Structure 1
Amino acid sequence: MQHTTRFRILLVTIVIATTFIVFALGPLLTAPAPTAVSTLSADFPVESVEIPSQQGVTVHGWLARGKPGGGVLLLVHSMRSNRMEMLSRARFLKDQGYSVLFIDLQAHGETAGDHITFGLREAENVEASVAFLRKTFPAERMGAIGASLGAAAIVLAQQNLKLDAVILESLHPTLEEAVDNRLKLHFGDQGSILLPLMLWQLSFYLDVSLDALSPITRINNLNSPVLFISGTHDVHTTQPETERLYAAARFPKELWIVPGAQHFNMHSYAGREYEQRVSDFLSYYLRLHDDG
């Protein structure tokens, strides 16, 4: 009897502790990630820009001007990061003559926001940034590169961005799979038990259907040539998940699975091969006049 009582007490304690942890994870996952953004060195001149977005948010970013007729690119960072993540990409792209805008998404870096919304509100920042670039560079062809959350923000945009080329790195197909993969990463395979409660929390905090946060439901609406990039060792977004996204997208499309790469910063990992593949893709679609 005594052992049974102790077991019940232990079981109840574990349930209470687990419930507390899970309920704490919802606010933690959606909590903003403000950071000061470092000052850049003089060898890479940029203009600080502030772009009005929806919900009263002002998007902070840097604009580096390339050569006239060279094309324009928007670079969008991953979750709990800021525009500095995209700096190395901005450098090599500007060296090739592109004008580059890299921004802090809402609730990241120097852009204000109450919650991280897994692409919902972040998509509004992308829409505002694309509109800013069209006004600033009306004669240029335009593309975008997004990593993880940044990629989701591009795909989940409600407006037709009318981009001439899009590169999506480490993008999850559904929010359910993204959360499940992270639960397994932290708690092992048994972490999936917590998935329904986690999804309910996120839906509650963000006040939105989770389908609205799943890129695979909108990828076919992305009316742009698209290059998907993912890693064979990515446990946040697996290779089969990326292949499903690729299959759901419309043509023209390309897929590059990077051997050995994990979830973050494909440019840092793949280096020159990344630059070559990205350059080839972008020049084909943003500099069509070069072929003639």
Structure 2
Amino acid sequence: MIATSCSIMAGLIASWFVAGALVAPSPRVIGDPPRELNATSFTVNSESGSVVSGWQTQPHSGNGVIVLLHGIHGSRLSMLERARMLHDAGYATVMIDFQAHGESPGDTITIGYLEQHDVRAAVEFARREHPGEPIGVIGVSLGGAAALLASPLQIDALVLESVYPNIHDAIHNRVAAKLGPLASIPASMLLLQFQPRLGFSPQELRPIDHLPGVGCPVCVASGSEDRHTTASETQAMFSAAPEPKRLWLVDGAEHVDLFRKDPIQYRERIVGFFDEYLRGDREAPASPGVFGKR
């Protein structure tokens, strides 16, 4: 009995430190904005409580603006290559560091709960800086979850990359990737910490519930071998999205940067999606809604 109690206590302590590492702030020095993208720095106040730092880039044409939202423990630098690609395609971009990431202050990463306010601040900044232009969003993992939690954003197109449908499955999948069949108990221990550590319940982190009301075309993308956001979960996200919508399962990809995995296909699929719904380029056939694997 004593041994069992000690084991349970040890498990709780271990899971507390594991969770602490997951949600600990991820600051970093970003450096100067890239001159070749005609980029400038900015800050905006967010209702997350942070002063959100970012860059905006401006091409010579005015085809629209894309807000780029990085994944957990990333920063705007994680989205820089996408910004270069979009700049070449004639799109302005707005890149931010979420609260508790990069150069934006914050005490704790909240897996989308507070970050949703940063998304709203970034979209409103894009709207002010580019009045009358269409707005798109690319959200990667945490970034996509935060964008959904913030929806509807009154934007014109949304790309979701490797976005978890609900935090319960997201935690279980990540623990199972490490521990296999033994994942259930430690995953439950991690979920029990949300209220005392973060001040909200796991039920408040269900991005999939917000998909039907996004109010714009959606492209859902993920790796076919992603163990963090599985192919079946991605299919569920796609099913929940309103029409018009697209699905891209990247053959053989795990929970990785999909742009780096296949930049040529990424440009074809994602820039093509924005060209269709932001610029009205409908020369290429848009149906069916499933891009398929590659």
The equivalent residue for 1:206 is 198
Percent identical among aligned pairs is: 36
AA partner of residue 274 (structure 1): Y
> Structure 1 residue 25: deviation in Å?
2.4
Of 72, 77, 90 in structure 2, the residue corresponding to residue 84 of structure 1 is 77
Deviation string 1:218-254 (CA, Å, 9 cap, x unpaired) is: 1111111000000011111000001011111111111
SS at structure 2 position matched to 1:150: helix
Contact 2:33/2:55, CA 8 A, preserved across alignment: no
SS in 2 for 1:279: helix
TM-score by length of 2: 0.91
281-290 or 146-155, which deviates more:
281-290
Structure 1 position 70 matched with structure 2 position 53: no
Q: Aligned residue for 2:27?
A: 34
The answer to whether the 8 A contact 2:70-2:79 is kept is: yes
CA distance in 2, matches of 1:24, 1:105: 23
* RMSD, aligned CA: 1.7
Equivalent in the alignment of 1:228: 220
Residues 94-243 of structure 1 mapped to structure 2, 5 A cutoff: 94-157=87-150, 160-243=152-235
1:185 to 1:290, Cα distance in 2 relative to 1, 3 A: closer
- SS of the residue corresponding to residue 49 of structure 1 reads strand
- Residue 287, structure 1, aligned to residue 274, structure 2: no
Q: Work out the CA distance in 1 between the residues paired with 2:112 and 2:136.
A: 18
Tell me the distance in 2 between the aligned counterparts of 1:207 and 1:114.
13
Cα offset, 1:42, TM superposition: 4.0
Partner AA of 2:241 in structure 1: A
**C-alpha displacement of 1:217:** 1.4
- Correspondence for 1:244: 236
- CA shift digits 1:131-181 (9 cap, x unpaired): 1111111120110001000000110005x3111000000001010000001
User: Equivalents in 2 of 1:194, 1:228: separation in Å?
Assistant: 30
CA distance in 1, matches of 2:197, 2:73: 18
Aligned AA (2:136) = G
Q: Distance in 1 between matches of 2:223 and 2:145?
A: 17
1:93-145: per-residue Cα shift (whole Å, max 9, x none)? 00111001111001100001111111111110010111111111112011000
Cα–Cα, structure 1 residues 117 and 277, in superposed 2: closer, same or farther, change >3 Å?
Answer: same
Q: Which has the higher helix share?
A: 1
Alpha-carbon distance between aligned partners in 2 of 1:90 and 1:11, rounded to the nearest angstrom = 53
Q: Which amino acid aligns with 2:40?
A: E
What amino acid sits opposite 1:145 in the alignment?
I
Normalising by structure 1, we get a TM-score of 0.92
Q: Which has the larger radius of gyration?
A: 1
Per mean C-alpha deviation after superposition, the further-off stretch among 185-194 and 122-131 is 185-194
